[in-house]
Structure 1
Amino acid sequence: MAKKIAWVTDTAALLTEEFIEKHHVHVLALNIIFEEGALRETVDMTHDEFYHKLRNAKQHPKTSQPAFGDHVALYEKLKEEGYDCAIAIHTSEQLSGTVVSSPMAAEQAGFKTYAIDSKIGSYPMQVMLERGMELEKQGLEPEQIVQQIEALCEKSELMFIPASFEQLHKSGRVSGTAMFLSNLLNIKLVIAYNEAGGVEVIQKVRADKRAKKFAVERLQEAIIKSPVLEVAVINCNNEAGAVEWIKDLKVQFPTINFTPTPLSACVGVHAGEGTLGLTWVRQ
């Protein structure tokens, strides 16, 4: 008899409410810590409220993983509801301790859980969930499902272009001198997740147009390896910019479906409002 599997993730995936309800996904909220205390992403504030607070914050906010107690409570609830186990797909361990806390919380709740380090964030996490659910319907065992989801990590890429160095400076990622020079010379960074799940600067160019060109070249390189059917044009409160970029991308890649996709507020804390990027999972 097939096991009843609960699907768990965190708000780094930033799933739509429609997706969550349709697929019965259980989502743990990451925290944004402002002066008045921690606020749970998508629970205690909307994205509009987050960016309003970010613009007006006297002290730069920090981010943190979901409260351990919330993790334990979720697994206890799933156990009571008759699930045999959970498959939890979380954002990169290099950036958040959520995936490390997952098995500890599951052990405390006495509930079998398979915790997967996606080594990334955003849209690829949704793809991993969708693939896992398909395999569950096919009757595969949880261990087999986990193995195939983990294989997708190597086929996932995500890169983004901060609109400015201001938030990177506030969060301690770049110096004041670097911010001054970037504004003076119109320098843009292209930042990407690496194979280990960390983020690093992979290119510095002058002008936004060149930064986008570099991201497109990376997409072209990916397509040579294996097909890419969908690309999320990720953004930090910049859907208009994403939609505008999609117009050009559709001309270059007419067979790919491009979708404007908001990024987690946790990315917004560091990358800043206006950020744009691309992310995909190869076939």
Structure 2
Amino acid sequence: MSKKVAWVTDTAALLTRDFIAQHNVHVLPLVMVFEDGSFKETVDFTHETFYDKLRNAKSHPKTSQPSFGEHVALYEKLKAEGYDYAIAVHVSGQQSGTVASSPMAAEQAGFKVYAIDSRIGSYTMQKMLEHAIDLHAQGVEPEEIVKSANALRDRASLSFIPASLSQLHKSGRVSGTAMFISNLLNIKLVISYDDAGVCFVEKKVRADKRARKEIIDLFEKDVKANGVDEAAVINCNDEKTANEWKAELAAQYPNTKFITIPLSAAVGVHAGEGTIGLTWVRNP
């Protein structure tokens, strides 16, 4: 008899309501801490109201992982409902303590969990969950599901262009001098993730067009080497620009399907409204 598995993630994945309902995914919300209190992503605000609040914030907000108590309560609930174990896909452990809290909370609840570090977030988390769910439906054992999901993760890439350095400066990611010079010279950063899930500056270039070209060059390497069936144009509350870039990319790469997806508010806190990027998983 197939084991009863629970699927767990956090709001960095920004799963659609339909996907959550179809697969009964349990989503732990990341937290944005403003001067007037803490707010849970997708629970206490929509994307529109979040960016309204971010623009008007007197002090820069901070982000926080779901509370340890929420983790424990979730796993106690799953245990009581007769689940045999959970497979949890979480945002990069280099960016949040969520994935580290998961097994500790499960142990306290006396429940089995396979916690997976996506090492990125967003689209990669979505694809890892889809892949894991498909494998479970085929009767694959959880250890093999985790191994295969990790292999998918290792083929994933994400690069983005912060809209400006103002938010990164407010959150302590860049100095005031660097922000001033970059804004003065219209310098754009291309930020990527390394194999450990750590963000690094891939390139510093002049103007958005050149920054996008740098990302396209990275993408094209994988297209030529392995092929890429699907890629996602990601954005922080700038769907119009994302759709325009999607159309350009679709014309340039007709063998790849392009979609647009929003980024978590947790990214918007640091990278700023208008941030755009590209993420994909190269073929095996």
Note whether the superposition's TM-score is higher than 0.5.
yes
| 1:81, distance to aligned residue in structure 2 (A) | 1.2
1:58 paired residue number:
58
1:32-47 aligned at under 5 Å gives the runs 32-47=32-47
In the alignment, the residues of structure 1 paired with residue 259 and residue 71 of structure 2 have an alpha-carbon distance, to the nearest angstrom, of 31
In the alignment, the residues of structure 1 paired with residue 153 and residue 59 of structure 2 have an alpha-carbon distance, to the nearest angstrom, of 35
1:145 paired residue number:
145
Q: Deviations over 1:20-76 (max 9, x none)?
A: 111111100000000112110001111111101100000100001001111111111
The 3-state SS of whatever aligns with 2:89 is: strand
| 1:116, distance to aligned residue in structure 2 (A) | 0.5
1:280 paired residue number:
280
Tell me which amino acid in the other structure corresponds to 1:266: A
In the alignment, the residues of structure 1 paired with residue 222 and residue 268 of structure 2 have an alpha-carbon distance, to the nearest angstrom, of 26
Tell me which amino acid in the other structure corresponds to 1:4: K
1:6 paired residue number:
6
Q: Would you say 1:193 and 2:193 are equivalent positions?
A: yes
In the alignment, the residues of structure 2 paired with residue 246 and residue 148 of structure 1 have an alpha-carbon distance, to the nearest angstrom, of 29
The 3-state SS of whatever aligns with 2:13 is: coil
Q: Would you say 1:107 and 2:81 are equivalent positions?
A: no
In structure 1, list runs of 5 or more residues that go unmatched.
none
| 1:2, distance to aligned residue in structure 2 (A) | 1.6
| 1:97, distance to aligned residue in structure 2 (A) | 0.3
Q: Would you say 1:175 and 2:192 are equivalent positions?
A: no
In the alignment, the residues of structure 1 paired with residue 149 and residue 174 of structure 2 have an alpha-carbon distance, to the nearest angstrom, of 34
In the alignment, the residues of structure 2 paired with residue 24 and residue 232 of structure 1 have an alpha-carbon distance, to the nearest angstrom, of 24
In the alignment, the residues of structure 2 paired with residue 183 and residue 118 of structure 1 have an alpha-carbon distance, to the nearest angstrom, of 32
In structure 2, list runs of 5 or more residues that go unmatched.
none
2:29 paired residue number:
29
Q: Deviations over 1:59-117 (max 9, x none)?
A: 10000100111111111111111110000000111010000000010011111000011
1:71 paired residue number:
71
- What is the root-mean-square deviation in Å for CA atoms of aligned residues? 0.8
| 1:224, distance to aligned residue in structure 2 (A) | 2.5
| 1:246, distance to aligned residue in structure 2 (A) | 1.1
| 1:190, distance to aligned residue in structure 2 (A) | 0.4
Contact 1:2/1:141 (<8 A) preserved:
no
- Deviating above 2 A after TM superposition, structure 1's stretches of 4 or more consecutive aligned residues are none
The 3-state SS of whatever aligns with 2:12 is: coil
Tell me which amino acid in the other structure corresponds to 1:34: F
In the alignment, the residues of structure 1 paired with residue 230 and residue 33 of structure 2 have an alpha-carbon distance, to the nearest angstrom, of 34
In the alignment, the residues of structure 2 paired with residue 224 and residue 89 of structure 1 have an alpha-carbon distance, to the nearest angstrom, of 29
In the alignment, the residues of structure 2 paired with residue 140 and residue 3 of structure 1 have an alpha-carbon distance, to the nearest angstrom, of 10
In the alignment, the residues of structure 2 paired with residue 12 and residue 72 of structure 1 have an alpha-carbon distance, to the nearest angstrom, of 19
Q: Would you say 1:255 and 2:235 are equivalent positions?
A: no
What is the TM-score when the length of structure 2 is the normalising length? 0.98
Q: Deviations over 1:122-178 (max 9, x none)?
A: 001000000001100110111111111111121011111011111111111111111
The 3-state SS of whatever aligns with 2:78 is: helix
1:80 paired residue number:
80
Tell me which amino acid in the other structure corresponds to 1:184: L
1:235 paired residue number:
235
Tell me which amino acid in the other structure corresponds to 1:194: D
| 1:3, distance to aligned residue in structure 2 (A) | 1.0
Tell me which amino acid in the other structure corresponds to 1:200: F
| 1:223, distance to aligned residue in structure 2 (A) | 1.4
1:217 paired residue number:
217
| 1:225, distance to aligned residue in structure 2 (A) | 2.8
In the alignment, the residues of structure 2 paired with residue 11 and residue 205 of structure 1 have an alpha-carbon distance, to the nearest angstrom, of 31
In the alignment, the residues of structure 2 paired with residue 216 and residue 185 of structure 1 have an alpha-carbon distance, to the nearest angstrom, of 23
The 3-state SS of whatever aligns with 1:121 is: coil
Q: Deviations over 1:168-210 (max 9, x none)?
A: 1111111111111111111000001110011111100000000
In the alignment, the residues of structure 1 paired with residue 226 and residue 66 of structure 2 have an alpha-carbon distance, to the nearest angstrom, of 35
| 1:19, distance to aligned residue in structure 2 (A) | 1.2
In the alignment, the residues of structure 1 paired with residue 202 and residue 103 of structure 2 have an alpha-carbon distance, to the nearest angstrom, of 33
